[in-house]
Structure 1
Amino acid sequence: MKRSILFDTETTGLDPATGDRVIEIAALELVGDLPTGNTFHVLLDPERDVPEEASRVHGFTRADLEGKPKFAEVVQDFMAFIGDDALIAHNARFDFGFLNAELKLAGHKPLDMGRMVDTLDMARERFPGMPNSLDALCRRFGVDLSARTTHNALLDCKLLAEVYVELMGGRQHGLGLVAEGGQAPSVIYDAPTRRQVVRVVPTPQEMAAHSAFVEKLSDAVWNT
């Protein structure tokens, strides 16, 4: 099944071109668009101060990050985790811009923008003219926001994973109804609703069992 990586970053500011740096990276592995439980999470020493206005957003101060690894020290582990798979983020251009700036400083090639999947773009297409922040989407889809007091990257990833499932068509997306070795259900894309409909095809054994059951019934609707 398709593997992808959903990720988020927290930073010292808004623009890597002016010296802002990444202080937190969180990433979740998705297979078939659903979380597997495999995660990557690290706090980083940004090698600079953390402005007060940034701390108010994500809750981290310079003191919190002292002694944490530098990006160059974790880059190999991060690149191994993300592999060559699609990279999903909310307002992904922001996160790609910061990660590519960090990769450049560490002497690595930038991430290919062709790997980018932006859930903000997806939300804007589905809900044009409506608020499409992560908070707004969580409220729209009934995702619990009670733990989100600051912009923590790992928590944001977990929330976005739930939102992403909804944006891809709802909680039935990738519904696992097949035991190992069984026949996979067919998946149909319903264009008017932008949802994927799972069609479960019964096996010959299941059809035979159903027929045997129906024969025991009087006036079964299946025989009309």
Structure 2
Amino acid sequence: MNSILEKLSFYYKKKRLKNPNYGFLFEEPPENEYVVFDTETTGLNPKVDDILSIAAVKIKDNKILLNEKFNVIVKPDREINEDAIKIHGLRKKDLESGISIEEAVDRFVHFIGSRPLVGYYLEFDVAMINKYFKKLSGTTLPNKQIEVSALYYDYKIGLIPQGFVDLRFDSILKDLDIPTFGKHDALNDAIMTALIFLKLKNK
């Protein structure tokens, strides 16, 4: 935590914590460990849309720990538009066998611990998690956040200061010679984002 604003935000979130079971989030994070995550949702508005799935992978010492992956499907507590489900390749029966959003978020938070969070347009995914986590804890996630599109932008601008930087996910993958996995579900996107992060982190 470098800036004064980050420190103030951290302590403010800690002060608002109402559920001591989540106190571990405010502990010192393990060294050289990160969690890369992604959500699939019914839309792009955290205020009205719902989470359909959450997936994450851990990174430790520049290695993606696929044996410690997190991947859950959420059972909606209201009727979901069929088109919103199809976009993500999910079937209605997949969602019906899912777990509650409260259990999904609780399990996710225990999976990430105090590790820094990495993602592509991470602000949205964190906002979706916080929508439910705040109800469970009284506060929002205090974890450090690392946005891979910002890392990529800084990397490209360093090479071509006056150039246009294409920040689309597939364009970043192609430019960094990272293979595109078959379908864009939450787990595949999390793994591909982890590969982007590692490539940029080590440049």
Q: TM-score range by the shorter chain?
A: 0.7 to 0.9
Report the Cα distance in structure 2 between the residues aligned to 1:98 and 1:107, rounded to whole angstroms: 15
Cα distance 1:118–1:140, how it changes in 2: closer, same or farther (>3 A)?
same
Report the Cα distance in structure 1 between the residues aligned to 2:195 and 2:169, rounded to whole angstroms: 11
2:197 maps to 1:159:
no
Cross-structure match for 2:170: 135
How far the C-alpha of 1:146 sits from its partner, in A, is 4.9
The equivalent position to 1:144 in structure 2, one of 173, 179, 183, is 179
Cross-structure match for 2:60: 31
Report the Cα distance in structure 1 between the residues aligned to 2:181 and 2:38, rounded to whole angstroms: 19
Aligned ranges 1:60-99 → 2 under 5 Å: 60-99=90-129
Three-state SS of the structure 1 residue aligned to 2:87 is helix
Cα distance 1:3–1:35, how it changes in 2: closer, same or farther (>3 A)?
same
In terms of Rg, which structure is larger?
A: 1
Deviations 1:88-135 (A, max 9, x none): 0111101011010021244452112x5111111111222342212221
Superposition CA RMSD, Å? 1.9
Give the total of aligned pairs.
166
Cross-structure match for 2:89: 59
Cross-structure match for 2:21: none
Report the Cα distance in structure 1 between the residues aligned to 2:35 and 2:85, rounded to whole angstroms: 26
Q: Is 1:49–1:62's contact at 8 Å kept on the other side of the alignment?
A: no
Query: Larger deviation: 24-33 or 137-146?
Result: 137-146
How far the C-alpha of 1:140 sits from its partner, in A, is 0.9
Cross-structure match for 2:17: none
Amino acid at match of 2:179: D
The equivalent position to 1:124 in structure 2, one of 126, 140, 153, is 153
Three-state SS of the structure 2 residue aligned to 1:69 is coil
Q: Is 1:3–1:86's contact at 8 Å kept on the other side of the alignment?
A: yes
Amino acid at match of 2:114: D
Three-state SS of the structure 2 residue aligned to 1:42 is strand
Q: Is 2:73–2:94's contact at 8 Å kept on the other side of the alignment?
A: no
Report the Cα distance in structure 2 between the residues aligned to 1:133 and 1:34, rounded to whole angstroms: 24
Alignment identity in percent?
A: 26
Amino acid at match of 1:115: K
2:69 maps to 1:46:
no
Cα distance 1:33–1:143, how it changes in 2: closer, same or farther (>3 A)?
same
Three-state SS of the structure 2 residue aligned to 1:123 is helix
Amino acid at match of 1:43: I
Report the Cα distance in structure 1 between the residues aligned to 2:170 and 2:182, rounded to whole angstroms: 12
Report the Cα distance in structure 1 between the residues aligned to 2:198 and 2:42, rounded to whole angstroms: 30
Q: Is 1:25–1:153's contact at 8 Å kept on the other side of the alignment?
A: yes
Report the Cα distance in structure 2 between the residues aligned to 1:51 and 1:81, rounded to whole angstroms: 30
Report the Cα distance in structure 2 between the residues aligned to 1:57 and 1:167, rounded to whole angstroms: 29
Amino acid at match of 1:123: Y
